[in-house]
Amino acid sequence: MSWAALLGLLLALLLLLLLLSRRRARRPGEPPLDLGSIPWLGHALEFGRDAASFLTRMKEKHGDIFTVLVGGRYVTVLLDPHSYDTVVWEQRTRLDFHPYAIFLMERIFDLQLPNFNPSEEKARMKPMLMHRDLQALTEATYTNLRTVLLGDSTEAAGGWRETGLLDFAYSSLLRAGYLTLYGVEATPRTSESQAQDRVHSADVFHTFRQLDLLLPKLARGSLSVGDKDHACSVKGRLWKLLSPAQLATRADRSSWLESYMRHLEEMGVSEDMQARALVLQLWATQGNMGPTAFWLLLFLLKNPEALEAVHEELKRVVWQAEQPVSQMPTLPQKVLDSMPVLDSALNETLRLTAAPFITREVMADLALPMADGREFSLRRGDRLLLFPFLSPQKDPEIYTEPEVFKYNRFLNPDGSEKKDFYKDGKRLKNYNMPWGAGHNQCLGKSYAINSIKQFVVLLLSHFELRLGSEDTEVPEFDLSRYGFGLMQPEEDVPIRYRVRL
Ligand SMILES: *[C@@H]1O[C@H](CO)[C@@H](O)[C@H](O)[C@H]1NC(C)=O
């Protein structure tokens, strides 16, 4: 094509964009409207590059509610944590979270489920993760963490080993989580079967991780041609690894898996689609624990006082308990529930690094009541977005020095849990929202907390851990990951570790 023709085409395209985006005007009662300077795209580029900075800038300009144009969509952003509850509990006929979930499912995981109903699925899976079967999951996690972490440690006993902290934490937790939920090689476990478990789960982790790294680009549809080929082959491998036929051969599968697979069969989902759904679930259940443990351990290693406090607590609760941890088949829930210092450090870590979007489609014109008595009109077809990472989590009105990790931020001076945090002189109900809230509350919360705590306890009990060097810094965030859950670092952090003798 000649340059002139190309230029003509571009101009025509631009004209079309301009026509399509007859600029919308703010109506009385609506939130402040900010269209940006590029027709149709609006603020899409800035939003995709660094959502937190962009939304901070908009908040300074417009206050805690405003509407922005992002790639043809009008998105109303609400940043007042006092007003979140009305949104997260609103009925689906008014504010619906299903369409966005279904969109991401298709975009990232190529998954289409006929008659998919996220609410019904959640209700169904709840007992397997939260109540009835939690104890069994926690026990299996502990066993599998030991398989992964301690299995071949005897071979290298004594010597220092070098690795990246993210790779170490992420692979340990994901591999143990995979074995726990999707099953192991054989029961009863033998040393051969556990060696198999280590090799196979490492394969699953490395394949999964390649998809995980492409996730933000997949979600935005911004893969390069080379990325696309890579994504395709990685997905193909994962679908094979997690195919129903593969999983059928595994032992000691969780009740969660059994029940999820039955659910897929009842929906009439084909075997191919089942495999895709099982890959999605691997991400949903395992994609955030590893990064959380990474930040938690990094903050502890960078804050000797915090690490010491956690050590003291473990000494009291675990190491000097009647039965030493090395002989326990599992950490009982009672023990896991009596670690307020570790809890506070974990919650502080999540406050600083959990940045999911909470999204709703506006299904009908409606009035959104704010906690301070104001009311704003929302238009049908727009999207509503809450971003708890900015407020409450990083809000300087709620937390002094919000950028700083303070391990005891969620403890009172007497060591009990601190629950009173204020904004505008009013006590907050939602002051830390890493797990979402309302209809978005994470189902795997207890399972995840138990897994991370068991990982930290095992690690600190059996290993010495050091930063690669004295002046290792906390890395920057990979800014493309805002909205997807836990933030990940731009690059990994070198550490050394060795088995305690
Ligand atoms: C930490 O957060 C969890 C989950 O929201 C909560 O159950 C726990 O009480 C919190 N503990 C502390 C000390 O902050």
Q: What pLDDT digit, counting tens, does each position of 32-63 carry?
A: 999 999 999 999 999 999 999 999 999 999 99
For residue 347 and ligand 1, the question of a CB distance below 6 A is answered with yes
- Domain co-membership, 201 together with 338: yes
Res 122: pLDDT: 84
- Domain co-membership, 236 together with 178: yes
Q: How many other C-beta atoms can be found within 10 angstroms of the C-beta atom of residue 360?
A: 26
Residues in the chain where the model's pLDDT stays below 70: 1, 14-22, 153-157, 321, 323-326
Q: How many other C-beta atoms can be found within 10 angstroms of the C-beta atom of residue 263?
A: 16
Res 108: pLDDT: 93
Q: Using CB atoms within 10 A of its CB, is residue 259 exposed (0-12), middle (13-18) or buried (19+)?
A: middle
Token couple for 43: 């603020």
Per-position b or e across 289-321, b if 16+ CB within 10 A of its CB: bbbbbbbbbbbbbebeebbebbeebbeebbeee
- Domain co-membership, 219 together with 302: yes
Residue 249 near residue 266 (C-beta atoms within 8 A): no
> Quick one: which of 102, 106, 93 has its CA closest to 362?
93
Res 325: pLDDT: 64
Whats the size of the chain, residue-wise? 501
For residue 337 and ligand 1, the question of a CB distance below 6 A is answered with no
Q: Is residue 419 part of a domain?
A: no
Centre of ligand 1 to C-alpha 340, Å, is: 8
Centre of ligand 1 to C-alpha 173, Å, is: 21
Nearest-5° angle of CA 133, CA 137, CA 142?
A: 150
- Domain co-membership, 323 together with 373: no
Q: Is residue 487 part of a domain?
A: no
Closest ligand 1 atom to Cα of 435: 5
Domain that holds residue 374: 14-109+357-386
- Domain co-membership, 189 together with 301: yes
Helix (H, G, I), strand (E, B) or coil at 383: strand
Residue 34 near residue 61 (C-beta atoms within 8 A): yes
Centre of ligand 1 to C-alpha 449, Å, is: 9
- Domain co-membership, 59 together with 178: no
Q: Are strands 375-378 and 366-369 parallel, antiparallel or unpaired?
A: antiparallel
Distance (Å, rounded) from C-alpha 42 to C-alpha 91?
A: 30
Q: Is 6 annotated as a binding residue?
A: no
Distance (Å, rounded) from C-alpha 327 to C-alpha 435?
A: 33
Centre of ligand 1 to C-alpha 427, Å, is: 17
Q: Is residue 471 part of a domain?
A: no
Res 20: pLDDT: 62
Res 62: pLDDT: 98
DSSP character at residue 418 = P
Q: Among 339, 349, 417, which is best to mutate for testing ligand 1, by the most ligand atoms less than 8 A from CB?
A: 417
Token couple for 261: 């697979």
Q: Is 450 annotated as a binding residue?
A: no
Q: How many domains does the chain have?
A: 2
Residues 6+ apart with CB under 8 A from 131: none
